[in-house]
Amino acid sequence: MKLRVIDSGSSGNCYLLENEEECLVVESGIPFIEVKKALNFNIKKIVGVVVSHVHGDHSKYISDYEKAGISVFKPYLDENAEMSHLCYGNFKITSFSLVHDVPCCGFYIVHPEIGILVYASDTEYIKYRFKNVNHFLVEANYSMDFVDKDKPNYEHVLQGHMSIETTCDFLKANNNPVLRTVTLCHLSANNADSSYFKNRAEQVVDCPVEIARKGLCVDVSLVPF
């Protein structure tokens, strides 16, 4: 199983969990045609789409999937969506609430080939701890070391997003012997540094750390390294 990054950041987010038979699309903030190209136009393997919240960089292209007859999980539309469950193919998915300026959800994803993957983006913090997670795809949006406090949107930058410091605290609290990969996503274009963030995260976990960028492919199978 591979984690493929179509793109990550405020301009649009989309990630694929893909093997030879099936694909789960995480976020629909990138044109559907880009996903089609990544799958060599074999969209029949898409078992479903999960979307965290209504903001366009995560949800803009939902209708394209629905027009193609592909199911989209939008738990943020349901006030009672905390810990909603569903299955797409062999993927078992549970939503959990995040802390953003609109209703927003993360996803706890289980698959026989990957074990457990937790995805969380666009949140000030994550209020849960998770046991025996194999993979994290988690936001590290900014660092106070890079934020320009003189800009008029200074406070907005801090609202609804996780700093690398908060992300590292989360990873340290959830580090475990079976953790295999960490991928940091949704880095700010102006308030982050990928090398710095990677180094910070590597200090608190005992596994490889990657920075989500267009074209990145991460092996998230349970096969030993």
Confidence (pLDDT) at 160:
86
> Has residue 22 got a pLDDT over 70?
yes
Lookup: tokens for 122 = 């666009």
Strand ranges (E), 59-168: 72-73, 85-88, 91-97, 105-111, 115-120, 135-139
Give the CB-side neighbour count of residue 119, counting CA atoms within 13 A: 27
Task: List, in sequence order, every residue forming a beta bridge with 181; answer none if it has no partner.
Answer: 135
Question: What are the structural domains of the chain?
Answer: 2-219 (3.60.15.10)
pLDDT tens for residues 99-120? 998 999 999 999 999 999 999 9
Confidence (pLDDT) at 225:
43
> Has residue 69 got a pLDDT over 90?
yes
Percent over 70 (pLDDT), the chain? 92
pLDDT tens for residues 193-214? 999 999 999 999 999 999 999 9
pLDDT tens for residues 119-153? 999 999 999 999 999 999 999 999 887 776 666 66
Kindly give, in sequence order, each residue whose CB lies less than 8 Å from that of residue 39, ignoring residues fewer than 6 positions away.
16, 18, 23, 45, 46
Percent over 90 (pLDDT), the chain? 84
Q: 83 falls in which pLDDT band (50, 70, 90)?
A: confident
